[in-house]
Amino acid sequence: MSYDLVVIGGGPAGYVGALRAAQLGKKVACVEWERAGGTCLNWGCIPTKALLKSAEFYHQMHRAEEFGFKIGKIEFDFEKIMLRSRGVSDQMAKGIEYLFRSKKVDYFVGRGQVTSDKKVVVTAADGSKQTLETKHILLATGCTPKTLPGLKPDGKKIFSSREILAIREKPESIIILGAGAIGIEFAHFLHAFGTKVTIVEMMPRILPVEDEEVSDLLGKIFVKNGIEVLTNTKVEKTEITPKGVKITTSPAAEGGKAGTFEASTLLVAIGVQANTEGLFGPGVAPTLDRGFLTVNDRYQTSIPGVYAAGDIIGPPWLAHVASYEAIEAVEGLYVPGRTPHKVTIFPGCTYCSPQVASIGLTEKKAKEKGLKYKIGKFPYKASGRAVAVGEPEGFVKLIVGEPHGEILGAHIIGSEATELIAELGLAITLEATLDEIHSTIHSHPTLSEMIAEAVLAARGGALHI
Amino acid sequence: MSYDLVVIGGGPAGYVGALRAAQLGKKVACVEWERAGGTCLNWGCIPTKALLKSAEFYHQMHRAEEFGFKIGKIEFDFEKIMLRSRGVSDQMAKGIEYLFRSKKVDYFVGRGQVTSDKKVVVTAADGSKQTLETKHILLATGCTPKTLPGLKPDGKKIFSSREILAIREKPESIIILGAGAIGIEFAHFLHAFGTKVTIVEMMPRILPVEDEEVSDLLGKIFVKNGIEVLTNTKVEKTEITPKGVKITTSPAAEGGKAGTFEASTLLVAIGVQANTEGLFGPGVAPTLDRGFLTVNDRYQTSIPGVYAAGDIIGPPWLAHVASYEAIEAVEGLYVPGRTPHKVTIFPGCTYCSPQVASIGLTEKKAKEKGLKYKIGKFPYKASGRAVAVGEPEGFVKLIVGEPHGEILGAHIIGSEATELIAELGLAITLEATLDEIHSTIHSHPTLSEMIAEAVLAARGGALHI
């Protein structure tokens, strides 16, 4: 079998790159060892959003009286909630498999290995092998969760973000190591259904990459809701006990906590590592940097003709960045005269409640860079739409460069933050000025009006606060 | 009492204009005959959004099983739902009154009359009068719903959009005349709680200003849900009966229906008329056009020094347009060198379910104008986020100019359409090209990704369909 492009990896970089190349008329194969859609679709972004929807739903139902309702006993079926989430993943994965067929991408289920710059060997689960000849290769095998010594995920007491999506019973209690987006989303989800949650984070704040004000507010809300949050705290020792897990902590900085904490389960959410094991045959050794593939401006690895995109080329390990890189790599390869873009700015989202979304610099980063800036802030509680729908918690915060008024960063915590951030992404791409955003009429009553108000705040005064 | 600016009308044009002038250091009075916030906040946009939230909530609860829940009997208290909505309006109106105080706008409750270009007389409910001297006047008295002969709203059988917000009992059945945003939102709300709803519209489709494909889909959904929709139909005769109301209809065009229809109540939602009655004293007669005040490029009426903004200067009768005009009028008046913008493009939203939002040209309008265009369309059902949250109905449709790829119009029907439209507003303001929107990385998984996919569709092929 002979191809223009063989893609190894069927996640947001791999399948998107394969589809784009097929759209451009190329003969393409996509090799995936598990299921089309990769981690994102099967064990990440998509199934967690289904779970978080159920959490939101459950929380909402408890507010029924406020909106004029009386309802009987509310019971949840944890297994059903988990199974719905699996069903959503299954439906989306089938969708990708359908796209492969309709766009004529050959889909191989097996482990792909690059044996030369023109050859990929696919080993199926039964050990049978196929060799694919190809003009080019795109590597998009992604990452897997990092583990800790002595805490190998067993799917019973110890989980990574993957195994925990396969549980069918609600854990009685859980210790979550790492307060990034993944840790925070699982903390929110499990707490919503009554699991006792303890979060342990070495950094001073949960969601440490977010703006300090956003992280602070979310931290306060989590604590108020009854989640135990240990920041500035590191894990010294972990033990598996008959009942579950026991950890011993010490302060990583002032405010950290020394103590022992026990729970029936533990989730390790401390980052990811590159999936390169077995990816290269003898003599094939592209340059790596801390385990990740190094690529040039055209997404080419150190081996000519072999490209890479997505998590495998390093942070930020986000599905939307991965897809974007894959499209750029493929268009750079096949569209004459096309210079691929590299990713410089991208949004990040956490789908807890309230939602968190951001793009660009935090205030702290702007300060560290010595940039001149001003702040435009607007609270949800002053938005008519937020009050009408009963979601008055949160704020929009813009970091605005001086003297030109460009958006350096945007930070939103509150209802629908993950959708609202899109406008600010476009504003940054197009280098919109404050005046241009203000002179864009925002619908009333919407949450997006808060963006226009935050612009006014940065210009000297919002109207509605 | 002597002012720089007296504003007559406390709605989205009036109060916003007053606040903006105060921010600019002017001595300002705002005269409002009823309640700060005007129709929008007290009898329009805001209270309806509260009601529609309850409708959404009620609908969602009936889907509980799908998301993993079992709940007992769901009962609603219609009065409580209506009262929550009044409470939201009250809270927001108090907010405006607080802003008046904090920004030092003098707030007069009474009917304002312009007796000269420098004088406004305020008549309070008790008949007492105060005369305000002023350098400039801003008229922002807005509109009231149009009525029909023999159908004067009585708050019992006959309603305009105002009286219906004051009901405390769910109508058994209702005939809604007019299928614009107001008629459609009340149809959705009342139907959700079991009122038998009949919509009568002279035009061929409900939401006649929206893109035909959007109106068609919404019409199908309404009919499927059990709402009776009579389009191309005009009312020939109306009678008040002991039990309610009876109308006789005839076809306005092919497909229209001749018949008689009875219901316990009737809502007239056929448009608005300008509030100019009693606004001008003897000898003060600014130019009107079909009842609306005519203004020049600086929002000045035919009387020098007397400005006007908002619904009173004519369509599109939208709160966000009104506020924008008022800001522009005031900044044009007080900011040296500032040329006020006139409104050329604005979004429109209908908060039924699924939501509808649009900006710019419909496909039909683009065709009528003889423009060269292409279409980019993407369905909600192919969005991972839409599937994960159980909202797979709807689509994003872009009308894209050829050969430059500018967005001529954007149309969204589906979950959160009213928030998603904001990005497209900015895209149009900034004359973003398809490439610029595509190269803005959209978060995964969000609904806003559909905008990037619709862009790809317009460029020749979306990835996920």
Which tens digits make up the pLDDT trace of A194-247?
999 999 999 999 999 999 999 999 999 999 999 999 999 999 999 999 999 999
Measure the CA–CA gap between A161 and A48, rounded to whole angstroms: 10
pLDDT at A96: 97
pLDDT tens figures, B318-377: 999 999 999 999 999 999 999 999 999 999 999 999 999 999 999 999 999 999 999 999
State the pLDDT confidence band at B461, using cuts at 50, 70 and 90: confident
| Residue of B423, B435, B449 best to disrupt the A interface, most CBs of A under 10 A | B423
What is the residue type of B105? V
Tell me how many degrees the CA angle B33-B34-B37 measures, rounded to the nearest 5: 110
Residues of A in contact with B81 (CB under 8 A): 67-68
A265-268 vs A272-274, strand pairing mode: unpaired
Phi-psi group of B290: left, alpha or beta (phi > 0 → left; psi -120 to 50 → alpha; rest → beta): left
Encoded tokens for B6 = 């007296």
pLDDT value at B455 more than 90: yes
pLDDT tens figures, A298-339: 999 999 999 999 999 999 999 999 999 999 999 999 999 999
Neighbours of A367 (CB within 10 A): 12
How much of chain B, in percent, has pLDDT values that exceed 90? Answer: 98
Mean pLDDT for chain B? 97
pLDDT value at A146 more than 90: yes
pLDDT value at B189 more than 90: yes
- Cross-chain Cβ contact B57/A67 below 8 Å: yes
Minimum CA–CA partner of A66 in chain B: B84
Q: Is B61 on the interface with A (CB under 8 A)?
A: yes
How much of chain A, in percent, has pLDDT values that exceed 90? Answer: 98
| CA neighbor of B289 nearest in space, from B271, B313, B311 | B313
Half-sphere exposure of B140 (CA within 13 A, CB side): 39
Q: Is A292 helix (H, G, I), strand (E, B) or coil?
A: strand
**CB-CB: which of A20, A70, A419 is closest to B75?**
A70
The verdict on whether A59 is a catalytic residue reads no
A404 CB-near residues (< 8 Å, 6+ apart)? A433
- Cross-chain Cβ contact A419/B382 below 8 Å: no
pLDDT value at B1 more than 90: no
Encoded tokens for B248 = 């006789």
Encoded tokens for A294 = 């190094």
pLDDT value at B228 more than 90: yes
CA quadruple A150, A156, A158, A160: dihedral sign: positive
- Cross-chain Cβ contact A71/B66 below 8 Å: no
pLDDT value at B139 more than 90: yes
The interface predicted TM-score of the complex, written ipTM, equals: 0.96
Measure the CA–CA gap between A429 and B439, rounded to whole angstroms: 8
pLDDT tens figures, A39-65: 999 999 999 999 999 999 999 999 999
Instruction: With 0.95 as the threshold, say if the pTM is over it.
Output: yes
State the pLDDT confidence band at B106, using cuts at 50, 70 and 90: very high
Measure the CA–CA gap between B360 and B349, rounded to whole angstroms: 12
CA quadruple B288, B292, B294, B299: dihedral sign: positive
pLDDT tens figures, A111-139: 999 999 999 999 999 999 999 999 999 99
pLDDT at A388: 97
**What does DSSP assign to residue A67?**
G
Measure the CA–CA gap between B54 and B35, rounded to whole angstroms: 24
**What does DSSP assign to residue B64?**
G
Could you tell me if B228 and B206 are in contact, meaning their C-beta atoms sit under 8 angstroms apart? no
pLDDT at B385: 97
pLDDT value at B150 more than 90: no
Distance from CA of A10 to the nearest CA of B (A): 14
pLDDT tens figures, A385-439: 999 999 999 999 999 999 999 999 999 999 999 999 999 999 999 999 998 999 8
Could you tell me if B279 and B141 are in contact, meaning their C-beta atoms sit under 8 angstroms apart? yes
Q: How far is CA A17 from CA A139, A317, A325, A327, B376, in A?
A: 10, 16, 8, 5, 21
**CB-CB: which of B347, B437, B446 is closest to A419?**
B446
* Mean pLDDT of the region A438-462: 95
Q: Is A177 helix (H, G, I), strand (E, B) or coil?
A: strand
For B237-302, the DSSP string reads EEEE-SSSEEEEEEESSTT---EEEEESEEEE-S-EEE--TTTB-TT----EETTEEP--TTSB-S
State the pLDDT confidence band at B460, using cuts at 50, 70 and 90: confident
| CA neighbor of A353 nearest in space, from A55, A141, A24, A77 | A55
Measure the CA–CA gap between B102 and A47, rounded to whole angstroms: 47
A432 CB-near residues (< 8 Å, 6+ apart)? A406, A407, A426, B426, B430
Could you tell me if A227 and A185 are in contact, meaning their C-beta atoms sit under 8 angstroms apart? no
State the pLDDT confidence band at A366, using cuts at 50, 70 and 90: very high
Encoded tokens for B392 = 């797979």
Q: Is B364 helix (H, G, I), strand (E, B) or coil?
A: helix
Phi-psi group of A274: left, alpha or beta (phi > 0 → left; psi -120 to 50 → alpha; rest → beta): beta
Residue A272 phi, psi dihedral angles, 5° rounding: -135, 160
pLDDT at A461: 86
Could you tell me if B310 and A431 are in contact, meaning their C-beta atoms sit under 8 angstroms apart? no
pLDDT tens figures, A252-290: 999 999 999 999 999 999 999 999 999 999 999 999 999
Residues of B in contact with A416 (CB under 8 A): 416, 419
Neighbours of B166 (CB within 10 A): 12
How much of chain B, in percent, has pLDDT values that exceed 70? Answer: 100
Q: At what angle do helices A417-429 and A449-459 cross, to 10 degrees?
A: 50
**CB-CB: which of B81, B88, B422 is closest to A68?**
B81
Measure the CA–CA gap between B389 and A8, rounded to whole angstroms: 30
- Cross-chain Cβ contact A387/B92 below 8 Å: yes
Question: What residues of chain A, 379 to 418, have a C-beta less than 8 Å from chain B?
Answer: 382, 384-385, 387-390, 416, 418
Q: Is B7 on the interface with A (CB under 8 A)?
A: no
State the pLDDT confidence band at B39, using cuts at 50, 70 and 90: very high
State the pLDDT confidence band at A1, using cuts at 50, 70 and 90: confident
Q: How far from chain centre, in Å, is Cα A15?
A: 17
pLDDT value at A460 more than 90: no
Measure the CA–CA gap between B455 and B451, rounded to whole angstroms: 6
Q: Is B71 on the interface with A (CB under 8 A)?
A: yes
Neighbours of B39 (CB within 10 A): 27
Q: At what angle do helices B14-23 and B319-334 cross, to 10 degrees?
A: 30
pLDDT tens figures, A59-108: 999 999 999 999 999 999 999 999 999 999 999 999 999 999 999 999 99
Q: Is A335 on the interface with B (CB under 8 A)?
A: no
Encoded tokens for A306 = 């072999």
Encoded tokens for B167 = 């009901």
Residues of A in contact with B16 (CB under 8 A): 463
Mean pLDDT for chain A? 97
Encoded tokens for A192 = 């919503």
pLDDT value at B287 more than 90: yes
Could you tell me if B379 and B354 are in contact, meaning their C-beta atoms sit under 8 angstroms apart? no
Cis check: omega of the bond before A403, within 30 degrees of 0: yes
Measure the CA–CA gap between A140 and A147, rounded to whole angstroms: 21
pLDDT at B397: 98
Neighbours of B304 (CB within 10 A): 9
- Cross-chain Cβ contact A347/B49 below 8 Å: no
Measure the CA–CA gap between A377 and A359, rounded to whole angstroms: 15
* Mean pLDDT of the region B183-197: 98
Could you tell me if B379 and B393 are in contact, meaning their C-beta atoms sit under 8 angstroms apart? no
A95 CB-near residues (< 8 Å, 6+ apart)? B382, B464
Could you tell me if A212 and A364 are in contact, meaning their C-beta atoms sit under 8 angstroms apart? yes
- Cross-chain Cβ contact A444/B81 below 8 Å: no
pLDDT at A73: 94
Domains with residue ranges and CATH for chain A? 2-144+273-334 (3.50.50.60), 158-270 (3.50.50.60), 354-459 (3.30.390.30)
